[in-house]
Amino acid sequence: MTEVVPASGTVHWIGAGLSTGSGLAALCDTAARVRLWHRTEERAEQALAALGLAGRAEPRAYTPSALAAELAPGDIVVSMLPAPEHGPLLAACVGARAHFACSSYVSDAVLERVPAAEAAGITVLTETGLDPGIDHLFAHSLIARATEAIGPGTAASYTLTSYCGGVPAVPNDFRYRFSWAPVGVLNALRSPARYIEDGAETTADRPWTVTRPHVIDGETFEAYPNRDSVPFVTQYGLPPAWKPLTFVRGTLRLDGWLTAWAPVFAELEQGDDRRIASLARELATRYPTTDADRDRVVLAVSLDVHTGPDEHWSGRYLLDMVGTKEESAMARLVSRPLALGVGHILDGSLPAGLSRGAETGERSEVWLRELGREGLQFGLWVEG
């Protein structure tokens, strides 16, 4: 195994969008030096002031060449940029022997650079935010608990669901408010979703058409699958002796969302890219998230394992958080786990090469305890 480049103590946080929250402040407490890179130095200064971090981090105007000029071996680059920009950023990190961290899924562009990153002795930390991130921690924790209770060699069937959603804390008639790229919200609904239902792989070309009620602590939400859930059966390390009846990772929306969005779905069915881009702008204008609005994030992960007609184990995690005037729930729940992961690069506890935020039940328990100590509240219920 390649020896890891020791962390220098310098963190470069790239981007100060809606998901940059108190995680950045946490790093200002633990790292020797933090630099915030934004479109201009003035905007970086404004972002630091808004976060109460003026004077605690160094503002920088971001360009790839400007960042590359300041990177040193052992530095840590934290990308809050869109996923397509992660590949070039990681390439710069490999060249400088600097570590890389983000909250996003592992893209092909990142994956193809992992061998070079490992050879350079740098950590590539991914999927360390909310979704993906905390959802993985919950799932790994439940699977480890169930495996210990039942045994990995015991024949069983299971249902695993993982649903996450950012919704208005005070519902409006549209059952949603836009807080990030509106066209991205609509285009995500145009991407097919693959999942397991009734023991078979299933694909929904239009995910909203398989939206179903999902009751959480007596409150009814609407849930639909997104992306490709199937690879996570392997990523989560579920015992081969256990057969999936249902395995779905998806999105939560407020009750009534399906009806409220019916005109939007009709437009999406037409598939006119220009019209959809125009519609996204119209909807963002009609249903924006204002300074007076508070967001709410709900994450519910459940695992039910059946070993016989009357024998089963079940467990579930629930996180339900409302944002405050100082910080949105989404910003807190993305940036705090990411900062926690960066802290583990700083202390040298992560290996060279690719590391996802949650890879084992043991790591998940450690990280969940650490997040709990930082004030992130969530519940765990186990039966059987």
- What is the DSSP annotation of 3-68? PPPPP-SEEEEE--STT--HHHHHHHHHSSEEEEEESSHHHHHHHHHHTT-TTTSEEEE--HHHHH
pLDDT value for 79: 96
Q: Which residues, in sequence order, are bridge partners of residue 17?
A: none
Return the CA Rg of the chain. Answer: 21
Query: 107 and 158 in one domain?
Result: no
Q: Which domain holds residue 19?
A: 10-126
Strands lying side by side in the sheet with 10-14: 58-61, 33-38, 10-14, 76-79, 99-102, 123-126, 353-356
pLDDT value for 9: 97
End residue of a domain, out of 98, 126, 154: 126
Residue 381 and residue 138 in contact, taking contact as beta carbons nearer than 8 Å: no
Query: 182 and 116 in one domain?
Result: no
Query: 236 and 274 in one domain?
Result: yes
Query: 238 and 96 in one domain?
Result: no
Amino acid at 67: L
Q: Residue 225 sits in a domain of what CATH number?
A: 3.30.360.10
What interhelical angle do 273-286 and 262-270 show, nearest 10?
160
- Tally of structural domains, the chain: 2
**Residue 77 and residue 5: Cα distance in Å, rounded?**
14
Q: Is residue 347 part of a domain?
A: no
Q: Is residue 338 part of a domain?
A: no
Q: Which residues, in sequence order, are bridge partners of residue 61?
A: 38
The pTM of this model reads: 0.95
- For 303, the token pair is 């695992």
pLDDT value for 384: 83
Query: 281 and 376 in one domain?
Result: yes
**pLDDT tens column, 157-201:** 999 999 999 999 999 999 999 987 789 999 999 999 999 999 999
End residue of a domain, out of 103, 126, 149: 126
Query: 245 and 100 in one domain?
Result: no
The SS3 of residue 235 is: helix
Mean pLDDT along residues 337-359: 95
Query: 159 and 106 in one domain?
Result: no
Q: Is residue 316 part of a domain?
A: yes
Proportion of the chain above pLDDT 70, given as a percent: 100
The SS3 of residue 368 is: helix
Q: Is residue 349 part of a domain?
A: no
- For 162, the token pair is 């993982």
Query: 139 and 26 in one domain?
Result: no
Q: Is residue 344 part of a domain?
A: no
How far is residue 62 CA from its own chain's centroid? 24
**pLDDT tens column, 38-70:** 999 999 999 999 999 999 999 999 999 999 999
End residue of a domain, out of 100, 126, 152: 126
Q: Residue 62 sits in a domain of what CATH number?
A: 3.40.50.720
Query: 228 and 96 in one domain?
Result: no
Find the catalytic residue in 75, 131, 135, 295: 131
Residue 248, Cβ density class (10 Å: 0-12 exposed, 13-18 middle, ≥19 buried): buried
Q: Is residue 2 part of a domain?
A: no
**Residue 159 and residue 96: Cα distance in Å, rounded?**
44
Asked whether the CA dihedral 38, 98, 33, 337 is positive or negative, the reply is positive
pLDDT value for 18: 77
How far is residue 98 CA from its own chain's centroid? 23
pLDDT value for 131: 95
Contacts of 229 (CB under 8 A, 6+ apart): 193, 194, 195, 196, 247, 248, 249, 250
Query: 208 and 139 in one domain?
Result: yes
Mean pLDDT along residues 58-87: 95
Query: 323 and 299 in one domain?
Result: yes
**pLDDT tens column, 93-131:** 999 999 999 999 999 999 999 999 999 999 999 999 999
- 131 noted as active-site residue: yes
Helix, strand, coil percent values for the chain (each to nearest 5): 35, 30, 35
Mean pLDDT along residues 5-26: 93
What's the mean pLDDT when you consider all of the chain?
95
Residue 196 and residue 248 in contact, taking contact as beta carbons nearer than 8 Å: yes
pLDDT value for 310: 83
Q: Which residue has the tokens 């890219």?
A: 273
Query: How would residue 16 be classed by pLDDT, with cut points 50, 70 and 90?
Result: confident
- For 67, the token pair is 């960042």
